[in-house]
Amino acid sequence: MMKLYLSCDMEGTAGVCSWDQCDPKNVTEYPIYRRWMSREVRAAIEGARLAEPCDVLVNDSHSQMHNLLFDELPDDIRVLSGYRKAYSMVQGGDEGFDGAFFTGYHAGIGVERAVLAHTYSPNVLYSVRINGVEFDEALLNAAYLGEFGVPVLLVTGDDAVCNAVRRHLPWAEFAQVKRSIDYYSADSLTPAAAIALIAETARTAVERRGQARPFRVEGPVTLEIESASVECADYIALVPGFARSGGRSLRFTAPTYVPAFQALIAAMRIGRSAAERA
């Protein structure tokens, strides 16, 4: 039986084009779109299982990380729910999986005309580069999974994230559920059409998984962060191993990718303390 890992975000869900729609504090719109997020996750699982029996672990990876509606999910899966997780969007990804799905993903911060584009924590991180290459959430997470031999098989979201990730993970399958028009607008499939597309693409992804390979970053690894503010950089610079290279710029080097990823998560957490005080 295939072991499948699924990391699900929300901004890349069909129809989402506003923070209100994916903000748990919004009691009007958020309940609607968390349901569609949950149904996209279910579609990905059901599509995968059309190709092969799968033992599935889902990591709820959006905001406070308790968005999924369990009554919308298959009965026989496990779900990682709650905030905070030490490895955030890829918590549990080191448990020996055969492949991974990323659903509801979005483009990284700074991408032109990409709906709700950001990288992990936009009030802390303005730019993240690994060995000189700009990395978004999908690449950061794929590289972590790659260290444990797990290839990303499927990415769902808008055209901006699909196009960006395809350049680095050409073996993956992509379910584009909407086309970004601007930061707060998108040309989207209906939820029902998106669910059908995701299920079919997930089936194809599992059928072709023999062609996939883990995405690995060769060491040594240099992590470069451009923080959102000088105050954030002040806090991040307290983390051992970080060197200040400018008012908002920091650098961290490691022999392999995992310590660099750990440093990024630590930087995000401590930088958020400065952002919350601003």
Could you give the 3-state DSSP secondary structure of residue 175? strand
| Pair 119, 270: CB distance under 8 Å | no
Domain boundary, last residue among 165, 190, 211 = 211
122 is a domain residue: no
Number of domains in the chain: 2
Question: Is the residue at 117 inside a domain?
Answer: no
Q: In the listed set 164, 187, 211, which residue is the last one of a domain according to the structure?
A: 211
- Are residues 235 and 199 located together in one domain of the fold? no
Residue in the block written with tokens 């470069």: 224
**Is residue 106 within 8 Å of 114, Cβ to Cβ?**
yes
pLDDT tens, N- to C-terminus, the chain (278 residues) = 999 999 999 999 999 999 999 999 999 999 999 999 999 999 999 999 999 999 999 999 999 999 999 999 999 999 999 998 999 999 999 999 999 999 999 999 999 999 999 999 999 999 999 999 999 999 999 999 999 999 999 999 999 999 999 999 999 999 999 999 999 999 999 999 999 999 999 999 999 999 999 999 999 999 999 999 999 999 999 999 999 999 999 999 999 999 999 999 999 999 887 766 55
Is residue 153 domain-shared with residue 245, that is, in the same domain? no
Do 238 and 161 lie in a common domain?
no
Same domain, 81 and 172: yes
Establish if 68 belongs to a structural domain: yes
Phi, psi of 176 (to 5 degrees): -85, 110
Last residue of a domain, one of 211, 240, 269: 211
| Residue 265 and residue 207 share a domain | no
Token pair of 212 as six digits:
């996939």
Distances (CA, A) of 32 to 44, 82, 186, 245: 19, 20, 17, 44
Vertex 117: Cα angle to 154 and 21 (nearest 5):
90
Q: Are residues 202 and 256 in the same domain?
A: no
> Is 67 domain-assigned?
yes
Prediction pTM value: 0.97
pLDDT number for residue 277:
59
Q: Which residues contact 130 (CB under 8 A, 6 or more apart)?
A: 139, 140, 143, 217, 221, 222, 223, 224, 257, 260
Q: Which domain holds residue 43?
A: 2-108+137-211
Rounded Cα distance between 135 and 230, Å, is 21
In this structure, are 142 and 52 located in the same domain?
A: yes
Q: Residue 101: inside a domain, yes or no?
A: yes
Q: Which CATH number is 201's domain given?
A: 3.40.50.10780
56 CB-near residues (< 8 Å, 6+ apart):
4, 5, 6, 45, 48, 74, 76, 77, 78
- Asked if 97 and 230 sit in the same domain, the reply is no
> Is residue 113, in this structure, part of any structural domain at all?
no
DSSP 41-90: HHHHHHHHHHHS-EEEEEEE-STTS----GGGS-TT-EEE--S--TTGGG
